[in-house]
Structure 1
Amino acid sequence: MAFNDDEKPPTSNTGSTKGLVKIKPAKYFKDAAALTADTVTAEVEINATSSTTVREGLDLVAVLDVSGSMTKDGKIESVKKAMLFVIMKLTPVDRLSIVTFSDGATRLSPLRTMTPDAQNDLKALVNSLGANGGNNIQAGLETGLAVLADRVNTKARTANIFLMSDGHQTSGDARQVDPGQVAIYTFGFGRDTDHQLMSDIATKSPGGTFSTVPDGSKVSLPLSQLLAGLLTVVAQDVHLTITPKTEEGDVDTVVVAPSAEYTQATNATTGVITIKFGALFAGEGRRVVMTLTLKDVSAFSEEYDAPLAEVQHSFTAQGRPRDLQVQQDIQIKRTPFPSQAPGVSSKVPAEIARRQHAEAIRQARLLAEVGQLEDARYKLVDAQKALENNALDGGQRLVNSLRAELQQLIRLMDSEETYKAQGRPYALASETCHGRQRYAARGGDEEDVRLFATPRMDAYSEQAKSFEKDPTGPAASAADEDVKQD
């Protein structure tokens, strides 16, 4: 199938790309290294600007489940209201296409530049949606991806899909669909959803997340959160390069901890490690943890600053060529006195604790999947104790969110029925959130876990709540009005 986008949107908000993404000096999880062979764990953090005045244009395809099961519990009406919120937020810089699927898939509209006329047309289209038939998620995804693949105008634009479904696929296999470079954000409605499938689809795509939407809840709330991010993409194709100082420095090897958020590759000749992140929303950050094995330099007897590696980041923005940033050094003070603490010091940063926390959730879910609910709860209780025993330096908000996440999961693993209906989707949403270092909704209208939520997401959450009460009110002002308020 081929879909041409004939409408060329106006240029997105333009301006200087300087300072859109910055890198912080490396932090160490050990105060000093011995002069003998030793290892040091370091963290490098990059952050996107919190300003939303310069952003990429959004090309969004909403792939909507209109199978017969969507008529239950008012789900199709909830989806309609959520899509109206989306339409009202988009500006002429953005484009939207709507695809529906049941037994097959239909592209209801091409990518439309969101002029007032287009908004009115798409509102009428959304209001006319009905639901019947089976559930062919594969057909819906393939149609949505075809819309994006056939774009003519792609400069300074991001390609994304919102996929919403409430059931199990009755034909096709959506896991076989290749997302390419398109981020797919999936939303699973209610207890009958194939949550594992929806999570797999999201995590197979670059940067996508899975959010769970309980029965009877307001879809516009979780949908608004990801929309807030997509309307503030300030940088794409973000790279971080780490050049070990193996010849002139004190490092033997550098090993970067794996993460679902980035891909990494090491040049066999130079040893340079390249990490690729994808796109960053305004206010987002990414943390990379690495272990550096140091050389034995016990012949030296004086304290000195040892170079270990150089780091440099780059990105594209506003369709301009890759912007290489100034290199920064990773170095550490070496001393003739051995390290006082074995392994990790008492000043363990929040990032290490958060990753351990996320791994405990994954392990607990795997135990629950084979019916070992008691062992799963014990795993979470142990993680809770570890959290309380660590002095985290990430702020009280992080501690409160991690604690709330564990407490909720323990409750949702109380029985097999509760786990399948609520615990599994909650755990999967938590895993995708931690793995991506990006917000994902875990369900409920008053959610108490907002890890990685950006300021714009917080604002849209409140606006969506107001919109649910009164869709004709001023809550869903266009995104450019939000920029002025920022």
Structure 2
Amino acid sequence: MGSKWRKAKLTLGLNMCLDIPKTLDDPTSPPRRSSDDASSPTMAATAAAAAAVRPTTPTPSSSGLRLSRSFNKSQSKKTCAICLMEMKPGLGHAIFTAECSHSFHFHCITTNVKHGNQICPVCRAKWKEIPLQSPNPKHVNLLGGRLRDRVQPRSSTRPERSRPVSSPFNGPEPAIYNDDEVLEHQHRSTGSTQEQCSVVSGSMEVKTYPEISEVLRSVSYKDFVVLINIKAPPSAPKASSSRAPVDLVTVLDVSGSMAGTKLALLKQAMGFVIQNLGPFDRLSVIAFSSSARRIFPLRLMTETGKQEALQAVNSLVSNGGTNIAEGLKKGARALIDRRYKNPVSSIILLSDGQDTYSVTSPNGSCSRGMDYYKALLPIEIGNRQNNGNSIPVHAFGFGADHDACSMHSISENSGGTFSFIEAETVLQDAFAQCIGGLLSVVVQELSVKVECVHPGLRISSIKAGSYSVNRCPDSRTGIINVGDLYADEERNFLVNLDIPVDETSDQMSLLKVKCDYRDPVTKETVTARDSGEVKILRPQETTGLAVLSVEVDRQRIRLRAAEAISEARVLAERGDLTAAVSLLETCRQFLLETLSGRANDPLCVALCAELRETQERMASRQVYETSGRAYVLSGLSSHSWQRATARGDMSETRVLQTYQTPSMVDMVNLSQTMTFGNPNSNSSSSLPSSSQRKLRQALSFPARPRPR
């Protein structure tokens, strides 16, 4: 009987709610009557009535299936949102119903809240009271909810287990993720040297600027600044074979709070990422909620691979809690265990909530950064196995409830960036900006060596943001470890020197700079062209030529603004928002009075706009907790790495363009013009039209609204 009802329901469509009678498989079902037949008049009438009320335009659900609201509600009432197992009286598990009316297994919710978490895993409502587990398993101390089935016979208890994240690849996961797809280009003939050498269309530029052009012989100068400007070469004409291919692992939050629009937009954004990967790029997808599962192995993004990846992404459903650490560990394993390696490797992490399974901070402050960093230890092991190359985690905090401090700590310690996605509709644009950079890596393992020339010179400091700096004990040599650079990407470092009195010459040689890096395609080590020694004049009397360098002034105010934002964040975390706002305003006024400010320099204008925006997001404690902290941390991540991040609703173009590269801009523009749900989209794509049609059919999402 049950199977026939289900067949009838599928025939009529999934947008209707039918009460399927219980079958003989269920011991609680009533005896089957002979009159219950698919061809009976009763069933025919029911089917006709259901067809009459079925909506004509179904609404796609976040899981990719068109399910009615009442169907989802009935299912959610029967399933624990944490362990995803069935909740039914008489199965030996106590059932806890919270004050927000959501139900869970009692042992699941006590584990969920044992670190002080008071947020519902489903609706994110904050509970006034939480359930507590008594030390004696026979007794339960219950607060803030109702408990059913507290005492059950031991024989009726089923073993506890977690249901994996839904996936078309629903087989058992391998113990070692060494089932990555073989890289075809590694087995091609070595006669394609000319093709491989076309990854860049130029050489790296190295420029140096002294703070002023002359210093009197009889005067010593402390903290004399020399600016080192490095610009990566542009990329070659667009072709998948003329750039370094990427191994990309996406670690995606599919907890209960992602249900609805968030999950639908995440799927659409992932569809954009998949569509813009090349046939030599590989993608793996990790989904996490209360647990984590690899739903798609590391596979080449050929046309077939893209279809399978889209199928895996479209199968995602939202439920359960948030276990970011477990998702990260599996994401790291996907890169550590692989047999083959593409030149570029990266992890994209997205979450919209607090980790309910790791150590939590009781006051919501940024006090658990290093605790959270322990989740990245497998990545550090992978770094040593991968010849010291870092595997950056580019973290995306989604919405107002994510843990910005932990996400920022993850990205900072791994060498990645942290982005704050405030408006749901710009999720795809944020992903587009990130992969626009990853798909244009032209420099790897870049190291910048700075060496003093004059014997009396010493390096007092090197300001390089988050990049590691090694200084020799004699302070005459320093090495900045930069790592990867995207096409046309720039880095600016300020070297402070202590210049002594020197009466011997009219000119002094200060520094020489050497840059070594590895070509990601040819694997060859390249030395950038020498820019020559940095020299200044040492006259006996002033000549009036000691004019402050505009380039040095621009980078000074950039560092000054970043330091002010960092100091304001410390004050805000202490609760002194008034002092934080005052500090930012003082810095903004200082910038306006500088050489760059008076010249209305674009960088100075962008920094002033960022300081003003930061002030507004520290207007009150509520505003700061909701969006201010995430906005500030995203900005600090951008300044410390000198790399573009998504902030807010991505409408503040002057701020965002500070570090954007042409490839990032092009990818964001493509994202803003491409609509998967529109068959008449005029967006340009490297895929043939037949592939575009298949991808749009697989995605089956409506046109996304643009931010106002």
On whether the aligned pair clears a TM of 0.5, the verdict is yes
Moved more, 306-315 or 250-259: 250-259
Match in the other structure for 2:651: 446
Residue matched to 2:245: 57
On the 8 A contact 1:199/1:209 being kept in 2, the answer is yes
The alignment status of 1:203 with 2:412, answered yes or no, reads yes
Please report the RMSD computed on the Cα atoms of aligned residues, expressed in angstroms.
2.7
Question: Displacement, 1:325?
Answer: 2.9
How is 1:160-309 mapped onto 2 (pairs within 5 angstroms)?
Answer: 160-172=346-358, 174-176=372-374, 177-178=376-377, 179-180=379-380, 181-206=390-415, 208-245=416-453, 249=454, 251-268=456-473, 271-298=476-503, 300=504, 303=506, 305-309=507-511
The 1-side partners of 2:543 and 2:396 are apart by 48
Q: Deviation of residue 18 (structure 1)?
A: 7.3
The CA deviation at 1:166 is: 0.4
What is the alpha-carbon distance in structure 2 between the residues aligned to residue 391 and residue 336 of structure 1?
27
Instruction: Say which is worse superposed, 444-453 or 60-69, in terms of deviation.
Output: 444-453
Larger radius of gyration: 2
8 Å CA contact 2:257–2:353 kept in 1: the answer is yes
Q: Which residue of 1 aligns with 2:526?
A: 323
In the alignment, what sits opposite 1:129?
A: 316
Q: Which moved more, 1:330-339 or 1:166-175?
A: 330-339
Q: Any idea what SS the aligned residue of 1:288 has? A: strand
Question: What is the 5 A alignment of 1:2-21?
Answer: 2-4=176-178, 5-10=180-185, 14-16=196-198, 20-21=202-203
Kindly state the Cα deviation for residue 463 of structure 1 after the two structures are TM-superposed.
1.6
Once the two structures are superposed, the pairs formed by residues 445-484 of structure 1 within 5 Å of their partners are 445-448=650-653, 449-450=655-656, 451-468=658-675, 470=677, 472=679, 473-475=681-683, 477-478=685-686
Which residue, out of 352, 356, 361, partners 2:565? 361
Q: Counterparts of 1:91 and 1:346 in 2: how far apart (Å)? A: 41
| Counterpart-to-counterpart distance in 2, 1:319 and 1:2 | 30
Q: Is the 8 A contact 1:20 1:235 kept in 2?
A: no
| Structure 2 Cα separation of the partners of residues 198 and 191 of structure 1 | 13
Shift of 1:368: 1.1
Contact 2:211 2:225 in 1 (8 A): yes
Q: Which of 344, 369, 376 is matched with 1:158 structurally?
A: 344
Report what 1:379 is aligned to.
Answer: 583
The equivalent of 2:514 in structure 1 is 312
User: What one-letter code is carried by the residue in structure 1 that aligns with 2:610?
Assistant: E
**Mapped contact 1:102–1:132 kept (Cα < 8 A):** yes
Q: Which moved more, 1:37-46 or 1:168-177?
A: 168-177
1:187 is aligned with what amino acid? Answer: F
Structure 1, unmatched stretches of 5+, are: 482-486
| Native 8 Å contact 2:205 2:529 kept in 1 | no
| 1:104 CA displacement | 1.4
Higher relative contact order (CA 8 A, sep 6+): 1
Task: Count residues in correspondence.
Answer: 472
Looking at structure 1, the residues matched to 549 and 669 of structure 2 have their Cα atoms a distance apart, in angstroms, of 41
Contact kept? 1:218, 1:468, Cα under 8 Å: no
Q: Is the 8 A contact 1:186 1:201 kept in 2?
A: yes
Conserved 8 A contact 2:518-2:526: yes
Q: Which TM-score applies when normalising by structure 1?
A: 0.90
Given the superposition, is the C-alpha separation of residues 6 and 138 from structure 1 closer, same or farther in structure 2, using an over 3 Å criterion?
A: same
Residues 447 and 517 in structure 2, CA contact (< 8 A), matched pair in contact too: yes
Distance 1:265 1:346, change over 3 A: closer
Q: Distance between the aligned counterparts of 1:6 and 1:347, measured in 2?
A: 47
CA shift for structure 1 position 167: 0.5
Q: 48-57 or 468-477: which moved more?
A: 468-477
1-structure distance, mates of 2:336, 2:308: 24
TM-score (norm. length: structure 2)? 0.63
Among 221, 224, 227, the alignment partner of 1:38 is 221
The 5-angstrom pairing of residues 389-404 of structure 1 reads 389-392=593-596, 396-404=601-609
Aligned partners of 2:215 and 2:539 also within 8 Å: yes
8 Å CA contact retained: 1:70, 1:131 = yes
Question: Partners of 1:128 and 1:114 in 2: how far apart?
Answer: 18
Whole-angstrom distance in 1 between the partners of 2:433 and 2:196: 24
1:15-61 deviations in whole A, cap 9, x for unaligned? 25777552333101122112132242100111012224443111100
Partners of 1:257 and 1:479 lie apart in 2 by 46
User: What is the CA distance between 1:470 and its match in structure 2?
Assistant: 4.5
